[in-house]
């Protein structure tokens, strides 16, 4: 049939032949590809600019809102997370709740893989302060688990960075929560 | 051209990110530097937190912030490796290539990455170049991979590595790489999915070279191999899909040579419910018609005519059906069939014209259904948007690399535009923050001024000056009394009192002993003052020096406070940065807007070209149908005329 059609109808030849052999013989459109490549390069260049600008804006915002001499940042990390499946955390600074967070599955996984969440950033005057973290989750034997940790620290004239560490304590198969100050 | 079934390499390598991080995290035992269990740098930990959630942009921003603020400590080259992976996942392949090339120095000297990590990173870098159509660079980087290490660390990657090298070797086979190609192909087990893909692509390459015999042999071998190695660890669906594809291609090759029996045999083995079953059915009709078995061809075409779903390739069915009827010697049935086909094509051509005239981004997007979740449009493992056509006429163009790429770029550009709009809205609050900061500063300035006034600094300065002058005069006059201590002054006052008392008393014997005592005391006092003069003078001068220093410090502080109150460089710096960023953001917004126009136009042009090609194809069928109509009408008319003549 194809041969017959080919002999009789050249226009049909092209159409049928393409249909017959498309997966094998289809040609790429080089014009389209070069246009696409140009746009891709342009988009990549724009992405670089966007990252740089976002970086500048991020630093600018921090400088405006949280100057280095008063800035306090609190991070949270989870080490392995075998004995505690993190669910929520609440943070108090000088008896005032300043942050609370409910974790999604994805966030918990990110923490268990070594990520650190910046839970809070704020300003504090120089001097002594107290910070308390309340951690909730599912502990050993799938039971609801709550633990708190507290730290008194002295805020100096530089940026203060604290870390809430949720760790597995293999000695008693329990999770442990502690707060440490970064130098 | 060539690789048409290269399923793993059709898009941007989002998959690499996970793989890269996997290789980074999973090889602590072999690392030269033990992997830190926890981040040693808060900013790096934060970047990882974003990274593991798939927030490439946020993670890249944190890494950029860290770099700007002094870099990340304690993690060697790992942050750069993560950054490269993030860039790949965010479609920044060129930049990622540059970073990897810089990071993975060929000899690995000075790198804190383990040989295994470097090895796998070379693999991904080579793969990126392969995707970018840079065979020389791809070959160069893949050649740096140590096959033994890769095979031990990740056998799947090792197989893929062989596949890539074989593909590259085939590209340069004309320059004498046949031996290398054979060696590489021999390293994959028979029935390995990568080996099967290689076989299929070999057939495609042979067809490209016009070597139909080799292509046929390769496809036949491939079909036989897949049939013999049915129980494989690879996905059955994938193998079945490849098998059907190979059979269809083989059948079309046979049809091209009018080998209808062979084609029918191949097509007959294809399942009725496969992805390519309808196309196989059409080919079956072609083969049956070629054999002269028109009833079977008609049955197949009737089945296809009943399909409701629109697909561009199926447009040939109405014409083919009428054509087969004509071949069956049934012009009375063929004539209305051709007429029906012509009407169908005419209508469809009109519809396509309408679609092309109304073609816009909105109308195009209305024809696409994007899969979404809470975080936005979903993407597949290769960074493509998860999209399905509402109108299956778009399925063909949607499946093309160029369209997918353009769609993805368009989406990225819209995301950038949204980012810019969001950041622009923040500048107002930035200015408010700055104003508030300035107001607070003014309040602090007035408080400071009040405090300075309370200090009565000018009065103290005058007192200091007066004291200096007095000391200076006393020094020049060697005025011992001036330098007396408090105790001495008190004693002198007492002596003066005694002297005054004695002056009021009669100077006779009754007071003689007192006067004598007074004289002795006064003489002792004068001697004491003269004796202590040097010590007292030194003590006063020391006190004066201390006072001078304190007064200088006070003065300097006052001047500094005054200067700070007069000019706020911090405020000026922040204001300058806000203004600069705002300008840059506006310029970026314009660039994104222009890029959006280009991307949109490219996308629409692609669709329009596809629609135009469909229209041209339909016009061909329309013309052929009309010709056939005319021919058959003429034939029937002549037949009826001759029958009438016969009757008469």
Scanning the structure block, which residue is given the tokens 């930035």?
Answer: B430
Chain B, residues 27-56, CB within 8 A of chain A, namely 37-39, 42, 45-46, 48-54
Helix, strand, or coil here: B555?
A: helix
ipTM, 2 dp: 0.85
Structure tokens at A22: 């498309």
- Tell me which long-range contacts B530-533 makes (C-beta under 8 A, separation of at least 24): B530/B480, B532/B480, B532/B484, B532/B485, B532/B488, B533/B478, B533/B480, B533/B483
A23 contacts in B (CB within 8 Å)?
4-5, 245, 248-249
The tens digit of pLDDT for each residue in B441-451 reads 889 888 888 88
Say if B60 is an interface residue toward chain A (CB within 8 Å): yes
Q: How far apart are CA B323 and CA B628, in angstroms?
A: 8
B283 contacts in A (CB within 8 Å)?
20
pLDDT at A168: 86
A65 contacts in B (CB within 8 Å)?
433
Structure tokens at B143: 């050649």
Which one of A27, A32, A35 has the shortest CB-CB distance to B1?
A: A27
Q: What residues pair up with A161 in beta bridges, in sequence order?
A: A73, A182
Structure tokens at B250: 């083989």
> How many residues in total does chain A contain?
183
The tens digit of pLDDT for each residue in B215-262 reads 999 899 999 988 887 655 556 777 888 898 999 999 999 998 889 899
Beta carbons of A32 and B602 less than 8 Å apart:
yes
Beta carbons of B68 and A117 less than 8 Å apart:
no
Q: How far apart are CA A46 and CA B380, in angstroms?
A: 23
What average pLDDT does this structure show over B425-435?
87
Q: Which of A61, A101, A114 to mutate to test the interface with B (most CBs of B within 10 A)?
A: A114
pLDDT at B380: 55
Q: At what angle do helices B178-186 and B155-171 cross, to 10 degrees?
A: 160
Question: What is the residue-averaged pLDDT of chain B?
Answer: 82
Q: How far apart are CA B280 and CA B272, in angstroms?
A: 9
Beta carbons of A115 and B49 less than 8 Å apart:
yes
Phi, psi of A71 (to 5 degrees): -70, 135
Phi, psi of B360 (to 5 degrees): -145, 170
Structure tokens at B351: 């519809």
Residue B16 has pLDDT above 70, yes or no: no
Determine contact, residues B611/B356, Cβ cutoff 8 Å.
Answer: yes
The tens digit of pLDDT for each residue in B158-186 reads 998 999 998 888 887 665 567 777 888 88
CB atoms within 10 A of CB B33: 15
Chain B, residues 410-469, CB within 8 A of chain A, namely 412-413, 416, 419-420, 423, 426, 430, 433-434, 437
Residue B33 has pLDDT above 70, yes or no: no
A49 contacts in B (CB within 8 Å)?
588, 591
Beta carbons of A116 and B433 less than 8 Å apart:
no
Q: Strands (DSSP E) along B252-403, which ranges? A: 368-370, 372-373, 376-377, 387-389
The tens digit of pLDDT for each residue in B291-337 reads 888 888 999 898 888 776 667 778 889 999 999 998 888 888 999 99
Using left for φ > 0, alpha for ψ between -120 and 50, and beta otherwise, residue B249 falls in: alpha
Helix, strand, or coil here: B505?
A: coil
Phi, psi of B140 (to 5 degrees): -60, -45
Q: How far apart are CA B508 and CA B161, in angstroms?
A: 130
pLDDT at B628: 92
Determine contact, residues A75/A91, Cβ cutoff 8 Å.
Answer: no
Which one of A3, A32, A107 has the shortest CB-CB distance to B606?
A: A32
Q: How far apart are CA B268 and CA B244, in angstroms?
A: 11
pLDDT at B27: 37
Beta carbons of A77 and B45 less than 8 Å apart:
yes
Q: What residues pair up with B373 in beta bridges, in sequence order?
A: B376
Give A3's pLDDT tier (boundaries 50, 70, 90): very low
Determine contact, residues B303/B285, Cβ cutoff 8 Å.
Answer: no
The tens digit of pLDDT for each residue in A146-177 reads 999 999 999 998 899 999 999 888 777 888 99
Phi, psi of A91 (to 5 degrees): -125, 130
- What are the angstrom distances between the C-alpha of B280 and each of A102, B252, B276? 54, 9, 6
The tens digit of pLDDT for each residue in B380-391 reads 544 556 666 666
B609 contacts in A (CB within 8 Å)?
29, 32
The string over B609-642, giving b where at least 16 C-beta atoms fall within 10 Å of a residue's C-beta and e elsewhere, is ebbeebbebbbbbbebbbbbbebbeeeeeeeeee
Beta carbons of B53 and A21 less than 8 Å apart:
no
Which one of B64, B248, B578 has the shortest CB-CB distance to A51?
A: B64
- What are the angstrom distances between the C-alpha of B16 and each of A159, A162, B48? 36, 33, 16
Residue B457 has pLDDT above 90, yes or no: no
Beta carbons of B323 and A5 less than 8 Å apart:
yes
Which one of A11, A23, A56 has the shortest CB-CB distance to B4?
A: A23
Percent of chain B residues topping a pLDDT of 90: 20
pLDDT at B254: 92
Three-state SS sequence of B217-236: HHHHHHHHHHHHCCCCCCCH
Give the least confident one: B44-48, B302-306, B539-543: B302-306
Q: What is the pTM of this model?
A: 0.69
Residue A86 has pLDDT above 80, yes or no: yes
CA B412, B417, B423, B426 torsion-angle sign: negative
Q: Which ranges constitute the DSSP H helices of chain A?
A: 2-8, 10-25, 30-65, 105-112
CA of A143 vs chain B CAs: smallest distance (Å):
26
Q: What residues pair up with A160 in beta bridges, in sequence order?
A: A72
Give the distance, in angstroms, between the CA of residue B317 and the centroid of all CA atoms in the same chain: 45
Give B13's pLDDT tier (boundaries 50, 70, 90): very low
**What DSSP string describes B118-130?**
HHHHHHHHHHHHH
Scanning the structure block, which residue is given the tokens 């075998």?
Answer: A82
Half-sphere exposure of A26 (CA within 13 A, CB side): 15
Percent of chain B residues topping a pLDDT of 70: 85
Which one of B289, B406, B588 has the shortest CB-CB distance to A36?
A: B406
pLDDT at B192: 85
Closest-CA residue to B145 (of B131, B130, B163, B126): B126
> How many residues in total does chain B contain?
648
Half-sphere exposure of B445 (CA within 13 A, CB side): 14
Strands A71-78 and A160-169: parallel
Q: How far apart are CA B233 and CA B238, in angstroms?
A: 11
Residue A28 has pLDDT above 50, yes or no: no
Phi, psi of B41 (to 5 degrees): -135, 125
Say if B211 is an interface residue toward chain A (CB within 8 Å): no
CA B288, B292, B296, B297 torsion-angle sign: positive
CA B181, B183, B185, B188 torsion-angle sign: negative
Q: How far apart are CA B250 and CA B213, in angstroms?
A: 11
Closest-CA residue to B49 (of A107, A18, A151, A51): A107
Residue A20 has pLDDT above 60, yes or no: no
What average pLDDT does this structure show over B204-212?
85
Q: How far apart are CA B354 and CA B21, in angstroms?
A: 50
- C-alpha angle B509-B510-B513 in degrees, rounded to nearest 5: 75
Q: Which ranges constitute the DSSP H helices of B456-568?
A: 457-476, 486-504, 509-566
CB atoms within 10 A of CB B466: 10
Closest-CA residue to A108 (of A135, A77, A83): A77
Domains of chain A: 2-65 (no CATH), 71-181 (2.60.40)
Residue B206 has pLDDT above 60, yes or no: yes
Beta carbons of A22 and B313 less than 8 Å apart:
yes
Residue B28 has pLDDT above 50, yes or no: no
The tens digit of pLDDT for each residue in B69-79 reads 999 988 888 88
Q: How far apart are CA A25 and CA B207, in angstroms?
A: 8
Give the least confident one: B13-17, B46-50, B577-581: B13-17
Give B88's pLDDT tier (boundaries 50, 70, 90): confident
Q: How far apart are CA B18 and CA B16, in angstroms?
A: 5
The tens digit of pLDDT for each residue in A100-123 reads 999 999 999 999 989 999 999 999
CA of B44 vs chain A CAs: smallest distance (Å):
8
Structure tokens at A133: 């973290």
| Helical (H) or strand (E) element with A129 | strand A127-138
pLDDT at A8: 35
Q: What residues pair up with A164 in beta bridges, in sequence order?
A: A76, A179
Which one of B37, B42, B49 has the shortest CB-CB distance to A182?
A: B42
Say if B64 is an interface residue toward chain A (CB within 8 Å): yes
Q: Which residue of A has its CA nearest to B244?
A: A23
pLDDT at B599: 87
pLDDT at B378: 63
CA of A146 vs chain B CAs: smallest distance (Å):
23
């Amino acid at each position: 049939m194809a041969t017959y059609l080919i002999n009789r109808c050249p226009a049909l030849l092209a159409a049928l032949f393409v249909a017959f052999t498309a997966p094998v013989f289809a040609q790429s459109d080089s014009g389209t590809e070069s246009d696409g490549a140009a746009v891709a390069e342009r988009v990549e260049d724009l992405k670089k600019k966007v990252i740089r600008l976002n970086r500048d804006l991020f630093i600018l915002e921090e400088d405006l809102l949280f100057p280095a001499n008063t800035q306090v940042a609190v991070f949270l990390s989870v080490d392995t997370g075998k004995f505690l499946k993190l669910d929520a955390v609440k943070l108090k600074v000088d008896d005032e709740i300043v942050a609370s967070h409910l974790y999604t599955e994805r966030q918990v996984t990110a923490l268990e893989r070594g990520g650190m969440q910046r839970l809070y950033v704020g300003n504090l005057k120089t001097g002594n302060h107290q910070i308390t973290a309340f951690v909730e989750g599912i502990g050993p034997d799938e039971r609801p688990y709550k633990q708190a940790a507290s730290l008194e620290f002295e805020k100096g004239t530089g940026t203060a960075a604290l870390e809430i560490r949720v760790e597995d304590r293999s000695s008693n198969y329990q999770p442990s929560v502690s707060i440490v100050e970064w130098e | 051209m060539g690789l048409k079934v290269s399923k793993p390499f059709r898009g941007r390598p989002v998959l690499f990110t996970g793989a890269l991080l996997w290789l980074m995290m999973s090889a602590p035992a072999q690392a030269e530097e033990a992997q830190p269990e926890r981040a040693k740098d808060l900013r790096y930990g934060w970047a990882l937190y974003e990274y593991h959630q798939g927030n490439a942009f946020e993670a890249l921003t944190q890494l950029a912030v860290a770099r700007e603020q002094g870099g990340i400590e304690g993690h060697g080259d790992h942050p750069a490796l993560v950054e490269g992976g993030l860039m790949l996942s965010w479609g920044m392949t060129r930049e990622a290539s540059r970073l990897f090339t810089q990071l993975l120095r060929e000899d690995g000297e000075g790198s804190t990455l383990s040989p295994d990590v470097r090895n796998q990173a070379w693999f991904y870098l080579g793969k990126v170049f392969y995707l970018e159509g840079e065979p020389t660079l791809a070959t160069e980087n893949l050649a740096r991979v140590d096959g033994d290490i890769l095979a031990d660390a990740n056998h799947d990657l090792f197989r893929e590595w062989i596949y890539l090298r074989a593909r590259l070797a085939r590209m340069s086979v004309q320059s004498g790489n046949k031996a290398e190609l054979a060696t590489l192909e021999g390293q994959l087990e028979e029935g390995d999915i990568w080996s099967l893909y290689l076989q299929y692509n070999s057939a495609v390459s042979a067809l490209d070279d016009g070597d139909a015999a080799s292509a046929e042999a390769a496809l036949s071998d491939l079909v036989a191999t897949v049939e013999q190695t049915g129980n494989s660890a690879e996905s059955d669906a994938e193998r079945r899909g490849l098998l059907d594809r190979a059979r269809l291609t083989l059948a079309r090759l046979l049809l091209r040579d009018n080998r209808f029996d062979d084609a029918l045999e191949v097509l007959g083995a294809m399942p009725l419910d496969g992805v390519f079953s309808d196309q196989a059915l059409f080919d079956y009709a072609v083969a049956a018609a070629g054999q002269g078995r028109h009833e079977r061809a008609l049955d197949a075409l009737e089945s296809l005519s009943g399909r409701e779903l629109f697909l561009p390739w199926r447009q040939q069915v109405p014409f083919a059906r009428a054509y087969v009827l004509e071949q069956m010697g049934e012009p009375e049935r063929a004539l209305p069939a051709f007429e029906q086909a012509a009407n169908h094509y005419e209508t469809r051509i009109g519809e396509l014209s309408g679609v092309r005239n109304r073609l816009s981004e909105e109308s195009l997007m209305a024809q696409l259904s994007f899969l979404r979740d809470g975080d936005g449009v979903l993407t597949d493992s290769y960074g493509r948007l998860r999209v399905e056509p509402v109108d299956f006429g778009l399925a063909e163009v949607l499946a093309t690399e160029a369209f997918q790429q353009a769609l993805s770029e368009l989406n990225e550009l819209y995301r950038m535009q949204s980012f810019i709009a969001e950041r622009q809205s923040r500048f107002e609050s930035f200015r408010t923050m700055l104003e508030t900061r300035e107001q607070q500063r003014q309040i602090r300035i007035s408080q400071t001024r009040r405090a300075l006034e309370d200090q009565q600094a000018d009065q103290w300065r005058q007192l200091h000056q007066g004291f200096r002058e007095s000391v200076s005069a006393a020094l020049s006059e060697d005025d011992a009394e001036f330098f007396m201590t408090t105790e001495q002054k008190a004693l002198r006052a007492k002596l003066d009192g005694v002297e005054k008392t004695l002056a009021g008393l009669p100077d006779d014997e009754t007071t003689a002993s007192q006067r004598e005592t007074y004289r002795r005391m006064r003489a002792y006092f004068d001697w004491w003052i003269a004796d202590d003069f040097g010590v007292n003078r030194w003590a006063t001068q020391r006190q004066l020096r201390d006072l001078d220093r304190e007064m200088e410090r006070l003065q300097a502080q006052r001047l500094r406070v005054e200067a700070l109150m007069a000019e706020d460089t911090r405020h000026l710096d922040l204001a300058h940065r806000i203004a600069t960023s705002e300008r840059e953001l506006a310029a970026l917004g314009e660039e994104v807007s222009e890029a959006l126009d280009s991307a949109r136009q490219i996308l629409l042009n692609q669709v329009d070209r596809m629609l135009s090609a469909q229209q041209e194809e339909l016009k061909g069928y329309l013309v052929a149908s009309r010709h056939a109509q005319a021919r058959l009408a003429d034939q029937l008319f002549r037949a009826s005329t001759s029958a009438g003549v016969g009757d008469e």
